[in-house]
Chains A and B, each alone.
Chain A
Amino acid sequence: MTLLKARDISVTDGRDRLVQPLSLTLRPGRALTILGESGSGKSLLAQAILGTLPKGLHASGELHVDDVALDPARPRGNRALWGRLIAVLPQEPWLALDPLMRAGRQVEETHRMVAGSADARAATARDLSELGLSGAGARWPWQLSGGMAQRLAFAAARAGGAPITVADEPTKGLDADRRDDVLALLQRGLRDGGGLLTITHDLDLARGLGGDIIVIRDGCAIEQGEAAKVLADPSHPYTRRLIEADPARWPPRKPSVPGAALLRARDLVVSRGGRALTGPQDIDLHRGEVMGIQGPSGCGKSSLGNALLGLLPVAGSVWRDPSLPKVAFQKLWQDPVAAFPRRLRLGQGIDDLVALHRLDASEVAPLMARLALRSELLDRLPAEVSGGELQRLALLRALLLKPAFLFADEPTSRLDPVTQAETFDLLTGIARERDMAMMIVSHDASLLRASCDRVLRLPDQPPAR
């Protein structure tokens, strides 16, 4: 028995084929996961099935949902599926909930208007209590925590009674523990005998869901099979690289030999809006040392680094080696696009930096080669460069100033796994070459374990009210 059968689905933009013909089948109680990096075409595939492709893109192929034949080339007909046969989980639930409608009503209206439920209120109360949300129904969406919003959106999407669930990147930008929440939610749907199609680049999620996997790259399915088998013994080299890129599999770090003292903080307390984010911390950092900072979002990781850089006022004392110039303490940002002037050509920014500090302009080219950056990137604006390249350009910008210390604030959290692995390889390699100390912020414990000499864990903070 199948819930959904798609044959030879392909997507074109009129000139190029963005997704090569691909077939898939959803069965009750069994997960199907499409695994790939951003730009691989995995989201386009999902949109072709749902009938939500952006303007200018066209799908073709055959689609059967619940024994109803649909034509992917005419997406208008797919509208009847939404909510009733296919529940679509939003990518970012806190943006998907209507900020001006109370939480419970957003589930209730699906029950009443989509499922035609006679007692929508009772059905909603049941849903909310099953998901541990009872009592939250009268709140506004922006009064919910991230995890609660996620569960509420799940309930609202599925209240129409659809047997099939489609989730596009459901763990994008989530901490590890929140990722587990999502996994539990998706598995709940499977247990009820529903079908599940998940689109993700998250190997942990794919492993947790089990079922079948299709690995997709450049619009082609390059490998498919049972999840356990594909993940344990991949046959395609790209799948292998994808799996190798998992921080849990990175080779452990050779410990560094600490050099002279560089930075010392005593009884350091970082606060935001008058509220202490961290307890008193003592931090010592020597040349060449790499220290990790781990903790859930909002716990003050970034603020701690900014305090050490002297960007924030602090309680306690911070000593930085006074023989070094101020610019010897540098930083990498989580969102590389935001860290560059939006309308300034990248090359102009580098030229200005060279002129400001009277640097040797001939150092730029070899350093770019070391960072695997092509010189034509300098003619572009930040938005015209990929995230990985831009983060390496940010590194170039910092390295030109001969830093003794680099604070890297979640430098790869917006990058794909393979790019993340490459970036970290480069980052730790260069730190060792230049005897540069680093402080790396991440919420990924295995990443920090593999790339740091020691890790400082910051405790969770109650959310601000």
Chain B
Amino acid sequence: MSLRSDRIGWALLLAVIGFALLAPAFDQTGPLKQSLLKALAGPDAAAPFGYDHLGRSLFSRLAHALRLSLTIAFAATATAAVVGIGLGVLAAWRGGWIDRALGLVADSVLALPALLMVLMMGVILPGMGAAFWAGIAAVQWIEFFRLTRRACRAVMDGPAVEAARIQGFGPAWIFRRILWPEIGPVLRTAMAFGVAGAIAAIAALGFVSVGVPAPTPELGQMMVELLPSWREAPVAVAQPVAACFVLLLSLNLIAGGRA
């Protein structure tokens, strides 16, 4: 993947985020107001993207659904990154039983699919938003942990760190000048994939009707609701599908060809 596709990715992502943030400002109807008379009607001044099967504004619902997905996904991945990087550095730095114990915890959670974790969290925690955040973060921190630990280990045993120590530099300098420049780019990729994974997970559970409960707008749930009317209003169905696709594509382009 070239630098160019990376830029396209950022442009697409910023466009989606911009829509999610700004659209509600131009919207008078809100995502929940029904007017069954307008069910599946085309665009008008109040609803520039048309209406869904219950006559709710698709413009408004799409913007709120994107807000929800982006907020949960970024929060979950950011939490996972902070926890994973912190524990990864700790494991590589201290080694010994701390390293082994953290490794075993990571390997144990690794065996469990993220969706399963989210579903179990959904029973434990009061809201699906919290369940997505906790369940996804509980699985994603492992990737950051493993990447950080591996990169740090390779660097920690190297002459550059030995040289820094002999010259009197402390752990803070070693992290800022040696470790972070090494792991930063890798973690950026992992973060983009992480956010993409979270967004896909939210939509997938919405699609199989165990995600964010109606009537709160959510991409997967919107798709499954509109699906029965796909012959009458194909444009309406296409909207959440396209939004989801563009969002995931942008994040994959940002992550680049590396895994």
Physical contact A–B (CB less than 8 Å) = yes
Interface residues of A (CB under 8 A from B): 309, 311, 326-327, 329-331, 333, 335, 338-344, 348-349, 352-353, 356-357, 394, 397, 401
Cβ distance B186 to chain A, nearest Cβ, rounded Å: 12
Residues of A near B177 (CB, < 8 A) are 341, 344, 348-349, 352
* Complex contact B173–A357 (CB within 8 A): no
Give 1 or 0 for each of B169-200: 1 = CB within 8 Å of chain A CB.
Answer: 10001000110011000000000000000000
* Complex contact A357–B168 (CB within 8 A): yes
* Complex contact B166–A344 (CB within 8 A): no
Which has the most chain A C-beta neighbours within 10 Å: B158, B167, B168? Answer: B167
Q: Which of A333, A343, A348, A349 contacts B182 (CB 8 A)?
A: A343
Do A339 and B160 contact each other (CB < 8 Å), given the known contacts A344-B181, A349-B177, A352-B173?
A: yes
User: Please, how many angstroms separate the alpha-carbon atoms of A338 and B173 in the complex?
Assistant: 17
**Additional A-B contact list (5), CB under 8 Å, known A311-B165, A327-B166:** A327-B168, A338-B159, A339-B160, A343-B182, A356-B167
User: Please, how many angstroms separate the alpha-carbon atoms of A394 and B163 in the complex?
Assistant: 9
Nearest-neighbor residue (CB-CB) of A334 within chain B: B159
* Complex contact B167–A401 (CB within 8 A): yes
Contact-residue size bin, chain B (C-beta under 8 Å from the other chain):
10 to 19
Do A344 and B163 contact each other (CB < 8 Å), given the known contacts A338-B158, A352-B169, A356-B169?
A: no
Cβ distance A401 to chain B, nearest Cβ, rounded Å: 7
* Complex contact A326–B181 (CB within 8 A): no
Q: Which of B165, B166, B168, B181 contacts A341 (CB 8 A)?
A: B181
Overall SS of chain A's interface: mixed
* Complex contact A333–B159 (CB within 8 A): yes
16 A-B residue pairings within 8 Å (CB atoms): A327-B166, A330-B166, A331-B162, A333-B159, A335-B159, A339-B159, A339-B163, A340-B163, A341-B160, A342-B160, A342-B181, A343-B181, A343-B182, A344-B181, A348-B177, A349-B177
Do A329 and B166 contact each other (CB < 8 Å), given the known contacts A335-B159, A341-B177, A342-B160?
A: yes
* Complex contact B182–A342 (CB within 8 A): yes
Residues of B near A357 (CB, < 8 A) are 168
User: Please, how many angstroms separate the alpha-carbon atoms of A338 and B181 in the complex?
Assistant: 15
Q: Which of A309, A338, A348, A349 contacts B166 (CB 8 A)?
A: A309
* Complex contact A311–B162 (CB within 8 A): yes
Residues of A near B166 (CB, < 8 A) are 309, 311, 327, 329-331
Residues of B near A333 (CB, < 8 A) are 159, 162-163
Residues of A near B178 (CB, < 8 A) are 341-342, 344
Residues of B near A327 (CB, < 8 A) are 166-168
* Complex contact B158–A326 (CB within 8 A): no
Interface residues of B (CB under 8 A from A): 158-160, 162-169, 173, 177-178, 181-182
Overall SS of chain B's interface: helix
Cβ distance B243 to chain A, nearest Cβ, rounded Å: 37
Cβ distance B172 to chain A, nearest Cβ, rounded Å: 11
User: Please, how many angstroms separate the alpha-carbon atoms of A344 and B181 in the complex?
Assistant: 8
Cβ distance B176 to chain A, nearest Cβ, rounded Å: 9
User: Please, how many angstroms separate the alpha-carbon atoms of A394 and B159 in the complex?
Assistant: 12
Nearest-neighbor residue (CB-CB) of A325 within chain B: B168
Q: Which of B160, B167, B182 contacts A338 (CB 8 A)?
A: B160
Nearest-neighbor residue (CB-CB) of B161 within chain A: A341
Nearest-neighbor residue (CB-CB) of B174 within chain A: A341
Nearest-neighbor residue (CB-CB) of B170 within chain A: A356
Nearest-neighbor residue (CB-CB) of A309 within chain B: B166
* Complex contact B163–A331 (CB within 8 A): yes
Residues of A near B158 (CB, < 8 A) are 338
Nearest-neighbor residue (CB-CB) of B185 within chain A: A343
Residues of A near B163 (CB, < 8 A) are 331, 333, 339-340, 394, 397
* Complex contact A353–B167 (CB within 8 A): yes
Which has the most chain A C-beta neighbours within 10 Å: B159, B166, B169? Answer: B166
Cβ distance B155 to chain A, nearest Cβ, rounded Å: 8
Residues of A near B162 (CB, < 8 A) are 311, 331, 333, 339
Residues of B near A335 (CB, < 8 A) are 159
User: Please, how many angstroms separate the alpha-carbon atoms of A389 and B162 in the complex?
Assistant: 20
Cβ distance A413 to chain B, nearest Cβ, rounded Å: 14
Cβ distance A199 to chain B, nearest Cβ, rounded Å: 29
User: Please, how many angstroms separate the alpha-carbon atoms of A330 and B164 in the complex?
Assistant: 11
* Complex contact B181–A340 (CB within 8 A): no
Nearest-neighbor residue (CB-CB) of B178 within chain A: A341
Cβ distance A301 to chain B, nearest Cβ, rounded Å: 15
User: Please, how many angstroms separate the alpha-carbon atoms of A327 and B165 in the complex?
Assistant: 9
Cβ distance A56 to chain B, nearest Cβ, rounded Å: 19
Nearest-neighbor residue (CB-CB) of A330 within chain B: B166
The 5 A-B residue pairs whose C-beta atoms are closest, nearest first, are A343-B181, A339-B159, A341-B178, A333-B159, A338-B159
User: Please, how many angstroms separate the alpha-carbon atoms of A11 and B188 in the complex?
Assistant: 42
Residues of B near A309 (CB, < 8 A) are 166
Cβ distance A15 to chain B, nearest Cβ, rounded Å: 24
Cβ distance A338 to chain B, nearest Cβ, rounded Å: 5
User: Please, how many angstroms separate the alpha-carbon atoms of A330 and B163 in the complex?
Assistant: 9
Residues of B near A348 (CB, < 8 A) are 177
* Complex contact B160–A326 (CB within 8 A): no
Residues of A near B164 (CB, < 8 A) are 341
Cβ distance A367 to chain B, nearest Cβ, rounded Å: 15
Which has the most chain A C-beta neighbours within 10 Å: B159, B169, B173, B181? Answer: B159
Which has the most chain B C-beta neighbours within 10 Å: A327, A335, A342? Answer: A342
Cβ distance A324 to chain B, nearest Cβ, rounded Å: 13
User: Please, how many angstroms separate the alpha-carbon atoms of A372 and B177 in the complex?
Assistant: 27
User: Please, how many angstroms separate the alpha-carbon atoms of A356 and B182 in the complex?
Assistant: 22
Residues of A near B159 (CB, < 8 A) are 333, 335, 338-339
User: Please, how many angstroms separate the alpha-carbon atoms of A357 and B168 in the complex?
Assistant: 8
Residues of B near A329 (CB, < 8 A) are 166
Cβ distance B20 to chain A, nearest Cβ, rounded Å: 35
Nearest-neighbor residue (CB-CB) of B180 within chain A: A343
Cβ distance B94 to chain A, nearest Cβ, rounded Å: 17
Cβ distance B179 to chain A, nearest Cβ, rounded Å: 9
User: Please, how many angstroms separate the alpha-carbon atoms of A401 and B165 in the complex?
Assistant: 13
Residues of B near A343 (CB, < 8 A) are 181-182
User: Please, how many angstroms separate the alpha-carbon atoms of A274 and B168 in the complex?
Assistant: 28
Cβ distance B164 to chain A, nearest Cβ, rounded Å: 8
User: Please, how many angstroms separate the alpha-carbon atoms of A333 and B163 in the complex?
Assistant: 9
Cβ distance A9 to chain B, nearest Cβ, rounded Å: 36
User: Please, how many angstroms separate the alpha-carbon atoms of A357 and B167 in the complex?
Assistant: 9
User: Please, how many angstroms separate the alpha-carbon atoms of A365 and B188 in the complex?
Assistant: 38
Q: Which of A326, A340, A394 contacts B168 (CB 8 A)?
A: A326
